[in-house]
Structure 1
Amino acid sequence: MKNRIILDSPLIEGNRITYSYHAEGEWQKVFRPEQPFFVEYSADISEIPESIAVIPFLCNTLPISWVWNAEIQVPSCDWDFYHCIEAVKQGYKDMYPSVRFAGTFTAYNIIKNENPRNKGAAAFFSGGVDAFHTLVEHLEEKPVLLTVWGADIKFEDETGWQKVFHHLEKTAEEFQLDYVTIKSSFRLFLNDDELNKKVVESGDGWWHGFQHGIGIIGHAAPITCLMGKSTVYFASSFTSKEKGIITCASDPTIDNHLRFCQVKVVHDGYEFDRQDKVHNITSFSGKTGIAIPLRVCWQSDGGENCCECEKCWRTILEITAEGADAKEYGFPYTKKQLRKFPKIYYDKRNIPPYRRDSVYKRAQDTMRQKIEVTVLPKELQWFYKMDIKKLGYHPIYQFLAGCKRKIKTIININK
């Protein structure tokens, strides 16, 4: 049986869109019919047309249809979105030349939706370095902040979401901006295990390598079309210097082609590396006196920075390198946590070579240029002084690796 999915007319009620669909063929196993796909906004979107309402669903199923050579059928589709699909697909093809992208898309009505206002911006906001950098760089545009519940905070983590929400609320108040929250089951209605197996030859996983860029961005279509915005900013995760080294679903060759209802999408900040972004954020905070509490941790429950994981400490180093106090940016680390710090960085499982060279070397170089080693807490001075090439290579790991090689040699000799 041919792989096909038929989407019924989305049910649009007040602030919620619910999607009903029927999947046929082998690819049925990538969907979880027991988990409905819905999107809820903190604003009424009942006036949006069906041709716009289908976009969150399409943004999360089109990449699947391409790798499974499947057909998607929808009752109607926005003209701008329909005509951007091939360019978006080409971005995936260029990123993953070893993967075959096929599939077809059928919309029975293609509708040119007008956007009479077509001005102003919206920006996805998670509270991390990338998101805050986009905010401060485009603050004069007064972007509406969009935060999604269901991307990194699970529905059952009510405490975590409340902290994320209060962080958003406080940021919007501080910067005098409007905001919209979006609750979506876009990660739950899919079977990640099956999707990961399907794209294993790409060298990346489904969420990071194929879904999270376009899958998140699609949620902006109903609300930004309703508000008459002209631009949606989606902060870059990586930089142009990492092109060809790292693959990621969010990339300018994909994001910048997305269009809906005369709204363009901008993959923002790609020309800045992470240290540049931290510099711009700390400079902005220093000049304006506005506190910027970053939220970067993906390891802890509860929506706060754990100050224990690699990403937290990576950010602490970058802030410290700029001569700023990381505790003032949402990282209340303790001396006990400082003492654990070296163990994280000597473990090669935490520090792949590309990150050591592109991230930690930049942080160390910046640190050496801008501050004296004596300014640092004693527990951080080792990073300032060390040979950066040794990151990820603790003597104990080298010793264990040597023992493993000797054991293999003994086994081979005795064969």
Structure 2
Amino acid sequence: MIDPVCIISHNSTEPSSLVEVVFQIVDKKFNIYFKSDENTLLSGNAEAFLACALLPSMKMGGGQIVTKGEVSHKFLSALSTIQDIYCTWQPSFKRTEITGISTLKHPPSSQKRVGAFFTGGVDSFYTFLKHHDEITDLIFAYGLDIKLKDTVLRKKVSKKIHEIASEFGKNVIEIETNALELFDFYVNWGKLGHGAALAAIGHLLSPSFHRIYIPSSYTYSHLFPWGSHPILDPLWSSETLEFIHDGCEATRVEKVALLSKYDIALHSLRVCWTNPYSVYNCGKCEKCIRTMINLKINNALNRCTTFSEELDIKQVKKIVANTEGTRAFIQENLDALEKNNGDEKLRKALIYVLNKPDMPHLKRFRRKIKNHIKQIWKRIF
């Protein structure tokens, strides 16, 4: 018998607005909660808990995940392929077994509600606007990209999302969770964790929905290991709930072209990931700058009221394109400018960003050489 790596215990047998789960992973315990508004009940099913536990367990060497309850036959069958993907992306990961549960083949859902995870960013706006005739609910997960302690920013974002929903006659579901504590301790949130967390939240909302859209981050031409991925997200589905990874066919420039047709989008767009002093968009971080370039290319920057800063070429040149994702986004902007004979100064600035050396790498190299010289100096004297 393989020793358990993760033991899951929870208080939820009936639908509730608060689901609390304890994950005992080797010698560490995590008290994780999911909380919804009073009008939304969370199911607390085993699929959600397994989605949370899988990555930490694989990181810690596999073994067993021990829990109780019933789980979808389709979901459980797909966990083998999900683990294949993770093990390919992270060769140090080990496969894990699931014990203590029984499987059921659920009948297809009779629900007609369709959800979409929504943050107010470019990707989520694109997916919503593309499918707004079908989507009934916007799902905003608080505690993932907005820190739980930042209640000021949460209120700002919540207000905007409700305004967007009201404009289109849609419902808003807000889920508060500290699940980031669990994922962050074991894996990189962007590269691996966030897709599984979204799947967990989606299953907590089952069986109220039969389909939930997860907005894409990258195009089909720029795919690499990432927590939310077109080959991974659909595998989290069950017989009653379908996950769809949406938007890989469009670049960020093309996504902004769609949302720039809607004033409500230009008055609500939120992309910043630094949010100093709870500001909506700082206008200075890499993500703000490249989104402002997207808007400028689409002649919409002056109409986007959520950016108070002007696009500064000096700030553009400061971007460090040292990841696959950043380089892909910069290249998309450059391609769009060259295709449309856009701003020449901006075009040259983007070329400079793509071709300049990786300064952090050089700084580390210089520091290493300096330390080496110090060691030699000590040996001599």
Corresponding residue number in structure 2 for 1:134 = 127
Q: Verify: 1:38 aligned to 2:33, yes or no.
A: yes
Q: Is the 8 A contact 1:213 1:255 kept in 2?
A: yes
Task: Quote the Cα distance in structure 2 between the aligned partners of 1:291 and 1:183.
Answer: 24
Q: Which amino acid aligns with 1:218?
A: A
Q: Is the 8 A contact 1:9 1:75 kept in 2?
A: no
Residue-by-residue CA offset, 1:267-325 (whole Å, 9 max, x unaligned):
1112222222122222x42xxx5443211001014261000111101000011011222
CA RMSD between the two structures: 3.3
The count of aligned residue pairs is: 367
Q: Shift of residue 238 of structure 1?
A: 1.5
Give the TM-score normalised by structure 2. Answer: 0.84
SS in 2 for 1:358: helix
Task: Quote the Cα distance in structure 2 between the aligned partners of 1:2 and 1:117.
Answer: 40
Q: Shift of residue 369 of structure 1?
A: 4.0
Superposition pairs for residues 177-188 of structure 1, below 5 Å?
A: 177-188=170-181
Q: Percent identity?
A: 22
Q: Is the 8 A contact 1:93 1:99 kept in 2?
A: yes
Match for residue 238 of structure 1 among 207, 212, 218 = 218
Task: Quote the Cα distance in structure 1 between the aligned partners of 2:345 and 2:331.
Answer: 14
- Unaligned runs of 5+ residues in structure 1 are 197-205, 374-380
Moved over 6 A (4+): none
Match for residue 117 of structure 2 among 100, 114, 124 = 124
Q: Which amino acid aligns with 1:8?
A: S
Match for residue 150 of structure 2 among 132, 149, 157 = 157
Q: Is the 8 A contact 2:213 2:246 kept in 1?
A: yes
Distance 1:346 1:269, change over 3 A: same
Q: Verify: 1:208 aligned to 2:190, yes or no.
A: yes
Corresponding residue number in structure 1 for 2:27 = 28
Q: Is the 8 A contact 2:83 2:95 kept in 1?
A: no
Residue-by-residue CA offset, 1:3-30 (whole Å, 9 max, x unaligned):
4333234335731111135x36xx324x
Superposition pairs for residues 247-262 of structure 1, below 5 Å?
A: 247-262=225-240
Task: Quote the Cα distance in structure 2 between the aligned partners of 1:20 and 1:303.
Answer: 34
Corresponding residue number in structure 2 for 1:201 = none
Task: Quote the Cα distance in structure 2 between the aligned partners of 1:216 and 1:356.
Answer: 23
Residue-by-residue CA offset, 1:319-362 (whole Å, 9 max, x unaligned):
1011222552521214xxx44x5245245xx2227456532233
Corresponding residue number in structure 2 for 1:199 = none
Q: Verify: 1:62 aligned to 2:84, yes or no.
A: no
Tell me whether 57-66 or 164-173 shows the greater mean CA deviation.
57-66
Q: Is the 8 A contact 1:212 1:250 kept in 2?
A: yes
Match for residue 366 of structure 1 among 336, 348, 373 = 336
Distance 1:387 1:272, change over 3 A: closer
Match for residue 101 of structure 2 among 108, 127, 131 = 108
Q: Which amino acid aligns with 1:15?
A: S
Distance 1:102 1:353, change over 3 A: closer
Residue-by-residue CA offset, 1:85-127 (whole Å, 9 max, x unaligned):
122222223333x333311111432234445514341100011
Q: Verify: 1:330 aligned to 2:306, yes or no.
A: yes
Task: Quote the Cα distance in structure 1 between the aligned partners of 2:92 and 2:238.
Answer: 27
Tell me whether 68-77 or 129-138 shows the greater mean CA deviation.
68-77
Distance 1:10 1:163, change over 3 A: same
Residue-by-residue CA offset, 1:231-267 (whole Å, 9 max, x unaligned):
1100111122122xx4211111211111135211111
Q: Verify: 1:265 aligned to 2:243, yes or no.
A: yes
Task: Quote the Cα distance in structure 2 between the aligned partners of 1:216 and 1:308.
Answer: 28
Give the TM-score normalised by structure 1. Answer: 0.78
Q: Which amino acid aligns with 1:65?
A: S
Q: Is the 8 A contact 1:153 1:161 kept in 2?
A: yes
Distance 1:81 1:361, change over 3 A: closer
Corresponding residue number in structure 2 for 1:318 = 294
Task: Quote the Cα distance in structure 1 between the aligned partners of 2:354 and 2:41.
Answer: 53
